[in-house]
Chains A and B, each alone.
Chain A
Amino acid sequence: MTNLYAMLAIFAKAYGLFIFIGLSVAVIAYAYWPANRERFRKAAKAVLDEGEEDKPWR
C-alpha cells in the first residue's frame, strides 16, 4: 500500500506538470489553429440562425 502510494505520488508530482503543459498547448493550438477559424465563426453564428422554421434538418 505504501509503495503504491509512493509510486502514485511520484508519478503525479513528476509528470503531472508536463502532462498539463502538454494539454494546455494542445488546447490552445486547437483553438487558434488558422484552419479552424472559419469553422468556429460559423458555429458561433449557427445558433442564431437555425433556419426559417423551428424544425430538424431532415
Chain B
Amino acid sequence: MKEIIRTLTTGERQAALAIAICVTVIGLTMAALGNGDPFGIHGYVVMAYGLVATIFLIRCYNLPPSNVDRAGSYYDEPIKVAVVFSLAWAVVGMLFGLWAALQLAWPSLSFDLPWSSFGRIRPDHTTGVIFGFGGNALIGTSFYVVQRSSRARMPDQVAPLFVVLGYNLFCVLGATGYLMGVTKSKEYAEPEWYAGLWLVTVWIVYLIIYLRTLARRKEPHIYVANWYYLAFIVIVAILYVVNNLAVPISFTRAKSYSLFGGVQDAMTEWWYGHNAVAFFLTAGFLGMLYYFMPKRAGRPIYSYRISIISFWGITFFYIWVGSHHLHYTALPEWVQILGMSFSLMLLVPSWASAGNALMTLNGAWDKVRDDATLRFMMVAAVFYGLTTFEGSFMAIRPVNSLSHYTDWTIAHVHAGSLGWVAMITFGSLYAMVPWVWKKPSMYSPRLVEVHFWCALSGAVIYVLAMWNSGILQGLMWRTYNEHGTLAYSFVDSVVAMHPYYIARALGGLIFLIGVLVCCYNVFKTVRTPVDAFGPARRKVEDALGPVPLPRPASSPLPRPAE
C-alpha cells in the first residue's frame, strides 16, 4: 500500500487527501441526518471508509516519492488493488453462497436471526460474487488491457485509484445494507438510492479514464477487446440509471420507491437484469478472453472479423431478450415472443465467440494440456458455449414453462458464472498477476493445476446436481394422477431436493477451496522476490517455451537464477 502512495506526487497526494476528507464528511453528514435509520448506520460505514483512507494518506504524506519514469511505464498500481479486492470478494461472496446452499439443505442454519436469514444472505452472495469478485476483476483487467493494447499510460494517477476504491465502497454499502434489510428489491440492483448515486459518480470517472487512455493510443484502430470493455462500461451505466430511477421517501432515509409500477416495473427490471448478464457477466469477460487468451496462447485470434460481427450481434440482440424472464405473465404476448426470438438469434454471435476462442487454441493444444492457466480459458469458452445454448433453449416459452421457478435456472446461472465468468477470470488473473507484479511466473504452477481441478470438479458437481434437481422439480410439479389432480404436493418436491442440495453445497465447497488455493498462490507470487523463482520458472519454460516476460522500463529486471 505504501508503494502506491510513493508513486504519487505531492499534488496528487493532496488531491487524494481532499477526496478522502470529502468522503469522510459526507459520511458524517449521513450519519447525523439519518439518526436511527439504516441510512445513518451507512453514514458511519462511509465515514469509517473515508477516515481510514484519510489517516493512511496523512501518515504516508511525507514518504519520499519513488522515482518512477511515468512516460516510460504503465500505471499498474490500481490494477493491483483491484486484484486483491477481487479475490477477497470472491472468498466472501462464495462463503455466503455456500452458506445459502447449506441453508437450503438444512434451514436451521439460519439460526433464526434476522440478518442471517436466507433472503438477506442470498443478495450478499450475488452482489459479492458478481459486483465484488467479477466487477473488480473487470476493472483491474480493463485497466491492464486498455493500457497495453493502446500502448499508452493512463492519463491520471488519482482517478483510477478513486474508481477502484470508490467502487468497493459501493459494494460494501450493498453487502452491509442487505444484512440490515436495506434493499430496493430489484434483483442485481438491490442497493438503495444513495449507493446508486455514488456508483454512478464512480462509473462516470471510470468511463472518462478509459476514453482518455484510448485517446492516447498508438495505432488508429482500437483493439477489439476494448470494444467489449467499453460496451460493458457504457451500457451498464445506462441500464443502471434507468432501472434505478426512484424516489426516496426522504433524503435522510434509506428507503425509496421505484418510479415504475406493475408490469412496467417488471419489464424495466428484466431489461436491466438480462443486460446485466449480457454486459456485466458477458461483454467485459469476452474482453478478457480476447486479450488474455491470444496472449497466453501466443496466437492471434482465429478470426478478427468474427470477433467484430459477434460484438455487434451481442450488443444489438441482447438488448431485446429481457422479456424471456417474464414468459406467461401480464406482459403483452408479442413482447414475450420478441424476447424469445431474439434469444434464439443470440445463439449465433454467442457460438461464434465461443468457436472463435476454441479455434484460436487449435494448433496450441499441447500448451493447453501443459498450462493450467490456458486450460482455465479453454474451459471457460466451452462453458460459455454450453450456457448460451442452454439459455436460448430455456428462452423458448414451452421449455421455460418447465424450467422457470426451478433449480434448472440455478444450474444455468452457475454454469455461466462458475464455468464461464469465474474460469475466464482466474485464467486472466493467473496470466496478469505475474505481469503486473513483475514476476517471472506464478509462485506455483502446480497450485494453479490444483485450483483448476477443484474449479472444474466443483462446477460440474454443482451444475449436474441442479440440473437433476431442477428437472425433477419441474416434472413433479406437473405430474397428474388418474383423477386429474396433482400427484405430488409441493412439500414432496422439497423433500426430493434434499440430496441434490447437499451435493450442490459440496460442489460449492470444492470450488471455494480452489479459490482459497488461488489466493495463497497470488499472495506468495507477490511476496516472493524475483530471484527465488528459479525452479518454478524453469518448469513453465519447459512446458511452454520461453514465456515473454514484460520488463519494467525503468528498472531492468534481474534475471532469475537459472
Residues on A facing B (Cβ under 8 Å): 9, 13, 20, 23-24, 27-28, 30-32, 39-48, 50-51, 53-58
Contact = CB atoms under 8 A, between A and B. Distances in A.
Interface residues of B, number: 39
B551 A53 contact: yes
B198 interface: no
Contacts of A53: 550-551, 553
A45 B224 CA distance: 12
B73 interface: yes
A27 B435 CA distance: 35
B304 A23 contact: no
B304 A43 contact: yes
A3 B173 CA distance: 42
Given A47-B291, A48-B294, A48-B300, A54 B308 contact: no
Interface in B492-543: none
Given A31-B309, A48-B295, A50-B148, A56 B71 contact: yes
Given A43-B224, A50-B148, A55-B73, 20 more contacts: A9-B332, A13-B334, A24-B313, A30-B308, A31-B306, A31-B308, A41-B304, A44-B304, A46-B149, A47-B223, A48-B298, A50-B151, A54-B148, A54-B553, A55-B74, A56-B71, A56-B151, A56-B152, A56-B153, A57-B152
B498 to A, nearest CB: 46
Contacts of B151: 50-51, 56-57
Contacts of B72: 55-56
A46 B316 contact: no
Interface of B: 71-74, 147-149, 151-153, 216, 218-219, 221, 223-225, 291, 294-295, 298-301, 304-306, 308-309, 312-313, 316, 332, 334, 435, 550-553
A46 B153 contact: no
A40 B290 CA distance: 14
B74 A56 contact: yes
Contacts of A46: 149, 219, 223
Contacts of A13: 334
Contacts, number: 87
A56 B316 CA distance: 34
Contact of A54 (B74, B216, B224, B225): B74
26 contacts: A9-B334, A20-B316, A27-B308, A31-B306, A31-B309, A32-B305, A40-B308, A42-B219, A42-B221, A43-B304, A44-B294, A44-B304, A45-B300, A47-B148, A47-B300, A54-B73, A54-B550, A54-B552, A54-B553, A55-B72, A55-B73, A55-B552, A56-B147, A56-B153, A57-B218, A58-B218
Contacts of B223: 43, 46-47
Contacts of A42: 219, 221
A8 to B, nearest CB: 11
B221 A39 contact: yes
